[in-house]
Amino acid sequence: MAEPVRIGFVGVGGIARHHLKQLQATGQATIAALCDVREESAASAAAEYGGTVYTDYRRMLDAETLDALYVCVPPSLHTGAELLACERGIHLFVEKPVALTMPQALEIQAAIAQAGVLAAAGYVMRNWPGIAAAQEYLAGKTVSLVSANRWHGIAGGDDHWWRRMDISGGQLVEQATHNLDAVRWIAGEIKAVWARYEYASLAHLPNFSIPASQVVAFELASGAAGTLTCSCVLNQGGGGGNWDFLLPDERVSIVGAEARRAPVAAGEDGTLRSSQPTLNIDEAFVQAVASGDGSLIRSTYADAVRTLEVTLAANESAATGQVVECRAWRS
């Protein structure tokens, strides 16, 4: 049997716990080290999954021999663990959004390219069977219109970082980035955006500086037009997310994890299925690291930087009222 992949974590909060569970289930990974500035978070995860506890990622990377590092910190807190991992030749899994500014993301992207390490981003929806099926079905087809929505409530309580614009970047940058990334993956690159945000409806909440609702209109490189809306006003339930892709005489819809096309002939149900087995995002990453086959990674760091650029461009457009061009996809 191949040696297990030795993995460390920086940031051991909610999403790290999810990855730890999935990594353990692969049977191909050893959790070697867990680092969190809140020592008790790392320690309680270590009690369940193993690994030495640290509160400083530099000390962890000095002391441990790791094959891969998961970076699962809030968006504005990507402090340099990725750069140090690159220096040491450690493969990376970085949670989305991969940073909160383009210069930081591009610096890390360049370090990854120079080090030649594998680098995945946590755009988990690319590993959902329905989204993968829609991507496969629409590849090479001419999409005319894209409509995507993500309507939910506020993540976390009154003191959570999610509701702070300076830490999260707002719902589009932090959360609906998944939905926008799926649009890019399925329908191609986005070359320009225009956005409008609504703040007043949740402005009474404590510590709350993000928009309540966001509308983004965009132009794809293919010439297709699209919109994405997201909202966090539905705090008593009733939310959801969906995508529609309109082509001449055809509509492909994704609701939850399921994709369908319409219209269909009598007797057909229109459900789309992927021809490939869909590994979950951690299985795919561990297999990629173990085999050196980067093609198993559906969302690379460099690709995630392009999604980040579009969401930051929307924030800029909402602030300035201007259409903002997205350039990263051209490089």
Ligand X SMILES: NC(=O)c1ccc[n+]([C@@H]2O[C@H](COP(=O)([O-])OP(=O)(O)OC[C@H]3O[C@@H](n4cnc5c(N)ncnc54)[C@H](O)[C@@H]3O)[C@@H](O)[C@H]2O)c1
Interface positions with ligand X (CB under 6 A): 10-16, 35-38, 41, 57, 72-75, 77, 79, 95-96, 122, 124, 174
Round to whole Å and give the CA distance between 285 and 298. Answer: 9
Q: Is the peptide bond before 97 cis (omega within 30 degrees of 0)?
A: yes
3 state SS of 201: helix
Our CA angle for 172, 178, 183, nearest 5°, is 100
Between 35 and 220, name the residue whose CB sits nearer to ligand X.
Answer: 35
The two tokens of residue 158 are 């009154």
Contacts of 10 (CB under 8 A, 6+ apart): 35, 36, 57, 60, 69, 70, 71, 72, 73, 81
Q: Which residues pair with 149 in a beta bridge?
A: 229, 242
Shortest Cβ 145–ligand X spacing (Å): 27
Which of helix, strand or coil describes residue 177? helix
- CB nearer ligand X, residue 220 or residue 231: 231
Residue nearest to ligand X (CB): 13
Question: Tokens at residue 289, please?
Answer: 């690291």
Local structure of 148: helix, strand or coil: strand
* Residue number, 67 or 174, with CB nearest to ligand X: 174
Side by side, the strands of the sheet bearing 5-10 are 52-54, 29-35, 5-10, 68-71, 91-94, 119-121
CB of 19 to ligand X, least distance (A): 9
Q: Which is nearer to ligand X, 70 or 137 (CB)?
A: 70
CA–CA distance, 245 with 254 (Å, rounded to integer): 9
| Rounded least distance, CB 270 to ligand X, Å | 27
Nearest approach, Cβ of residue 127 and ligand X (Å)? 10
What is the C-alpha R_g of the chain? 20
Question: Shortest Cβ distance from residue 17 to ligand X (Å)?
Answer: 8
Closest CA to 172 of 77, 302, 314: 314
Nearer to ligand X, 4 or 13 (CB): 13
Least distance (Å) from ligand X to the CB of residue 182? 12
Provide the minimum distance between the beta carbon of 72 and ligand X in the complex, in angstroms, as a whole number: 5
Q: Provide φ and ψ at 121, rounded to 5°.
A: -120, 160
Instruction: Give min distance, CB of 273 to ligand X, in A.
Output: 23
